[in-house]
């Protein structure tokens, strides 16, 4: 069972990066009935989203976030010996975008870099992987980059998905520590029989050049995803709290993957979590996939009343179907920031 | 909730643009009853009426009458 308690990692900072272009559900989709838009947005709780321009990829958003993060921490690129990019929207089929990012961030060749293909659960899986590498002393400083540009695979005329997803990138600085208080509890889960519930069927090697171009756009069986979330996340929260020996009141932030505002409130209510501990970004930025948890955490910013380190719980669930959570302590001076992407020309390799 | 109110509620959830559904309507006769319509039904049944059903159960429902039967079974209203 993929349950683990690990020491050895401290989170130093999280920076999220958003594209500049803002789209509004009620204004920018005239081909849908306004009443229909209102119904969908009321259910999901999404008013606006950010959309990358056609030349901007997930790696660009993550790169800008990482640049800002390294600057905030005064970490030289040479001090990074691990870079993990978790996304479902890499630049190329091959090579891994993490390799390109190593070069762009001027990180030396002595850095281990790899991509992981996960979406909604990306951040908790990324933390779990990074913590494993740090606890094993295989790395000393890791950049965890997670992001998504769903605007590139969502059909704007598909009313099931068009109004829900936004683009964003993130960078998280993780460092080896000997501090025994910096423990983290993880639970990771998978149910591949639901793979078809949220899928882009075309474009990769099972169906390389589909005749039906709609196969290259996102398909979502919303009812099954809703059902999955409603059934699987409450036990995840309970099990994590039980593993960590904590109650809802012990966490400063409990950050849910931003899939649906109604569901987040439902899940929080079911777990007895007060909403003042549940930051949300979905109304303004939509479901940003792999970036949604770090974006929401970064937007929440440092807690006003923090005195000393504090606990957070992070929860990811969705495409795969894959889900997981982490209960962890973070230092008082954890950097939580966000920035806006300044468009630039990035040369193709 | 009486039958009329139930039909109005279903019309509102599915967003039938002012057209009120009837007991005889089916999944095929209501264009708005697609996968998104199913999701809206699932979430609003729970949110408005405290009726919790699974995605497979909602997928098996094929007509407005069956939605009403489901609501009646869960004592949201009576068809009689």
> What are the E-state strand segments in A196-258?
198-199, 219-220, 251-256
Tens digit of each residue's pLDDT (9 = 90 or more) over B6-58: 999 999 898 887 788 999 999 999 988 888 888 889 888 988 888 988 888 88
- Assess whether pLDDT exceeds 80 at residue B77: no
| Cβ pair B17:A159 closer than 8 A | no
Q: Would the pTM count as exceeding 0.95?
A: no
Distance CA A176, CA B43 (A): 44
Main-chain dihedrals φ then ψ at residue A181, nearest 5 degrees: -75, -20
**Chains A, B: CB contacts under 8 A, how many?**
46
pLDDT at A344: 82
The reported pLDDT for the residue numbered A39 is 83
Can you tell me the ipTM of this complex? Answer: 0.73
pLDDT value of residue A1: 74
B15: nearest CA in chain A?
A36
Instruction: Residue A227: list chain B partners with CB under 8 A.
Output: 42, 54-56
Interface check for A222 against chain B (CB to CB < 8 A): the answer is: yes
Instruction: Please give the pLDDT value at position A29.
Output: 95
pLDDT of res. B78: 57
Q: Kind and range of the H or E element at A238?
A: helix A222-244
Residues in B touching A33 (Cβ below 8 Å): 15, 17
A43 and B34: CB-CB below 8 Å?
no
State the 10-residue block means of pLDDT for chain A, 349 residues long: 93 98 96 87 92 96 98 97 98 97 97 98 98 97 98 94 96 96 96 96 95 94 91 96 96 96 91 95 97 98 87 97 98 96 86
Predicted pLDDT at A14:
98
Mutate to test the interface with B, among A227, A262, A267 (most CBs of B within 10 A): A227
**Residues facing residue A230 across a β-bridge:** none
Q: Could you say which DSSP state residue A307 is in?
A: -
Judge: B35–A226 Cβ closer than 8 Å, yes or no: no
Residue A276 CB burial class (10 angstroms; 0-12, 13-18, ≥19): exposed
Q: Is the pLDDT of residue B80 over 70?
A: no
Q: Is the pLDDT of residue B79 over 60?
A: no
What pLDDT does residue A312 have?
97
Q: Is the pLDDT of residue B76 over 80?
A: no
CA distance A251 to A40: 31
Shortest distance between the Cα of B42 and any Cα of chain A, in A, equals 7
Sign (positive or negative) of CA dihedral A116, A194, A61, A71: negative
Q: Are A17 and A64 in contact (CB under 8 A)?
A: yes
**CB-closest option in B15, B38, B41 to A35:** B15
Give the residue from A122, A145, A174 showing the smallest Cα distance to A334.
Answer: A174
Those residues whose C-beta lies under 8 Å from the C-beta of residue A17, and which sit 6 or more positions away, are A61, A62, A64, A65, A68, A147, A168, A169, A170, A171, A338, A339, A340, A341
């Amino acid at each position: 069972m993929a349950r683990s308690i690990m020491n050895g990692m401290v989170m130093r900072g999280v920076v999220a990066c958003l594209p500049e272009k803002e789209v509004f559900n009620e204004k920018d989709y005239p081909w849908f009935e306004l009443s229909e838009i209102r119904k969908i947005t009321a259910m999901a709780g999404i008013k606006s989203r950010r959309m990358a321009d056609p030349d901007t990829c997930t790696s660009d958003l993550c790169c800008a976030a990482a640049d800002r993060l390294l600057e905030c921490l005064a970490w030289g690129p040479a001090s990074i010996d691990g870079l993990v990019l978790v996304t479902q929207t890499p630049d190329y089929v091959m090579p891994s975008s993490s390799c390109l990012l190593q070069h762009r961030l001027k990180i030396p060749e002595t850095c281990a870099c790899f991509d992981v293909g996960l979406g909604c659960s990306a951040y908790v899986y990324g933390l779990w992987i990074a913590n494993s590498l740090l606890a094993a002393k295989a790395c000393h400083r890791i950049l965890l980059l997670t992001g998504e540009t769903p605007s590139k695979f969502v059909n704007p005329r598909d009313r099931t998905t068009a109004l829900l997803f936004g683009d964003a990138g993130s960078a998280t600085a993780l460092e080896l520590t000997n501090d025994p208080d910096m423990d983290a509890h993880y639970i990771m889960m998978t149910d591949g029989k639901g793979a078809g519930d949220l899928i882009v069927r075309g474009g990769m090697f099972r169906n390389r050049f589909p005749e039906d171009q709609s196969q290259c756009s996102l398909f979502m069986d919303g009812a099954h995803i809703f059902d999955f979330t409603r059934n699987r996340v409450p036990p995840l929260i309970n099990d994590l709290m039980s593993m960590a020996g904590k109650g809802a009141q012990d966490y400063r932030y409990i950050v849910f993957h931003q899939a649906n505002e109604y569901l987040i409130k439902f899940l929080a209510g079911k777990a007895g979590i007060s909403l003042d501990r549940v930051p949300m970004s979905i109304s303004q930025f939509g479901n940003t996939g792999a970036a949604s948890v770090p974006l929401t955490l970064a937007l929440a910013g440092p807690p006003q009343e923090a005195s000393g380190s504090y606990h957070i719980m992070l929860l990811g669930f969705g495409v795969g179907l894959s889900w997981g959570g982490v209960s962890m302590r973070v230092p008082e001076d954890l950097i939580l920031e966000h920035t806006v992407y300044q468009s630039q020309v990035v040369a193709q390799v | 909730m009486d039958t009329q109110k139930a039909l109005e509620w279903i019309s509102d959830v599915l967003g039938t643009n002012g057209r009120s559904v009837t007991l005889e309507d089916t999944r095929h006769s209501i264009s708005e009853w697609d996968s998104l319509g199913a999701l809206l039904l699932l979430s609003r049944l729970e949110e408005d009426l405290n009726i919790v059903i699974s995605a497979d159960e909602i997928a098996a429902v094929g007509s407005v009458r069956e939605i009403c039967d489901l609501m009646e079974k869960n004592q949201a209203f009576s068809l009689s």
